[in-house]
A and B are shown apart, each in its own frame.
Chain A
Amino acid sequence: MSANEKSVITEELRAWIGRTSPVQPLELLSASDVRRYVDATGDANPLWLDDDFARSLGHRGRLLPPLLVGWIPFSLKEQEASDKLASFDLRRQLPVPENYTNVRNAGNETEWLKPVCLGEQLSSQSRIVDVVERRGKMGTGIYITQEERVFNREQDVVLLRRHTIALFPEHKFGDEEKTGGDR
C-alpha cells in the first residue's frame, strides 16, 4: 500500500486487537444434536453413539465428535449482544466498513487437548488476536483472527482454535474466486 492510500483498518478497528470476552458457558449439546451431526456427515462412529463402547475404551461415556467440541450454532453467534465483548463471536462485533459484506473462511487451526464426553458442560473464551489488511484481486481484504479456548468443568482447556475470516467489499464472485464460503 502506498503512503497516499488510506488504510481500511481504522484506529477503532485496531483497538479490538487483544480484546477478550468473559468466560461464557456454552449450550449443552444433546444426543439429538449428535444424531443430526451423524445424519449430516455419515460419521456413525460408535465412539459418538454408544456409551458402552466408549466406556470399554476408558471414557466416562460416549464422546462428542471433535468438530462439535466448542460448537456454537450460527443463531447464537449472530445474536445481538448489548455488551459486545459478551458476544459468542467477537469478530461479528468489530466496526468494519459497512460495504464489507463478503465473508470468507480464510483458514483455521484447532487443537484438541482432551476428549469431551456428551453432556459435559463446557465454557469458552475468545480473543481477537489480529486484524490486518491485504490487497488481492478482490480488493483490499480485512483479515480478522480470533482465538478461542474451550474449558471443561475442571477448567482444563480442552480445545484451542485460531480461526481467520477475510472480509471483502460487496462483489459478485466468479467461480474461480469463491472458496470455503463459511464463516
Chain B
Amino acid sequence: MGEFRDQSDYYLLDPPHIDELISVLRGLGYSVIGPIVREGAIVYDEIESASQLPVGLRDRQRPGYYRLEERGDKAFFGFVVGPHSWKRFLYPPRFKLFTVSRKGEVTTHNVGGKKMAFIGVRGCELAAIQVLDKVLMGGPYVDPVYSTMRRDLFIVAVNCTEPGENCFCLSVGTGPEVGSGYDLSLTEVVGDGIHYFVAKVGSSAGKSLLERIGVRRATGDEVSEAAARMEKSRTLFRKSLDVTGLKDLLYRNLESPVYAEVAERCLACANCTLVCPTCFCTTVEEVTTLSGNVAERWRRWDSCFNADFSYIHGGPIRSSRLSRYRQWIAHKLATWIDQFGVMGCVGCGRCITWCPVGIDITEEAAKIRQRELEVSAT
C-alpha cells in the first residue's frame, strides 16, 4: 500500500467539499465533466454541482449486462465505469478537421481553448489516458486534436473501494488504486454514520485547489481507514487476465480454434472498440455540397470490426468476423506492446459489459491458453 505510506500528503474532504471543488474549478474556467445518470446508465457529461453525481447508486455488471441499483448509502462514487470513457472528450467521436473552398482556401478547425476538469477518473481510466498519450502524442506525429484537449486537463481521480463484477484492473496493474498522473486523488469512506474523502495531492495545481477550498489534513486514523478500504478492495476481484507470456501466447496461436467459436457469437457490431477507453481508430470522410463550392473533411471514430476499416482495392482484408475479432484481441493484448511498449488493455471490463452477447476478453484469452495446453498434452 505505497499509496498511503506518507501520511503528511493527505487531506480530508467532507461531502460538501466536493461541491466546492466543482465550483472552484468552474470559477477557474474549467468545463467540469463528471459522472451523471442518464437513461439507466452512468455516463460522463458536463456538471455544475455535486448534486448531479450518481449519489447512492451502484452498477451491477455481468457480460452483456448493466443495471443501476440503490446502494443504501450516500456514496458519491459507489459505482465503477459505464458506457462512456474519457476519450469521448479528449478524442471526440466526430470532428471537423478542415473546410476547403473551390478556390482552394483552407480553413482549419481548432478545438478551441476549452480547459477541462475530469471528476472521478478511475485507476484503469487514468492508465487509459496514459496509453492514449503514448499513441497520440508519443511519436513523431502528434495528434493536434487530442494534444490540444489534453493540454490543460485537470484530473480528480478516485480510488475504487469496490471493484465491479467485470473489473480486472488488479491483474493488469492499473488499479484499484490510481497510479500517477492525477492532480488530486480521492478515496471515499462511507458507512456507519461516517462519510468523508481522503485526498492526495498529485500536482501543484491540485495542491493550490485544496488550499482555495481550505481543507484540513487527514488524521492518521482517517488515512488508515482509507487504506484499509483499498486493502479490502483488492480481495474483492472476481475477474482476472493472466498476462504471463500473453503476447507470445497469442502470437503462437493465431490459428487457435477458439477464434472460430467466438466468431459464432461475435456480432461484429463494434461496440467493444467504441466503449474501450484506449481504442483510437478513426476514419476520415469528405463531405461536399450540391453546389460543389465547399468540401469538408470530418474525422470520426471507426473500428476494426467494420468491414470498410480494412478495405483496400478489391475488398476488405478482414472480411470474416473471425479475422476481425482476432485482429482486435491480438492488437489489444499483444501487437500493441510491440507498437507502443504497453498493453492496450487496462482491465476496465467495458468490452465485456457492453458486448451485446457478452463476449469476455479474459475468458477468450484463457480459452486460447487452455486450448494450447490441451493440444500440447495430446
Q: Do A and B come from one complex?
A: no
Interface residues of A (CB under 8 A from B): none
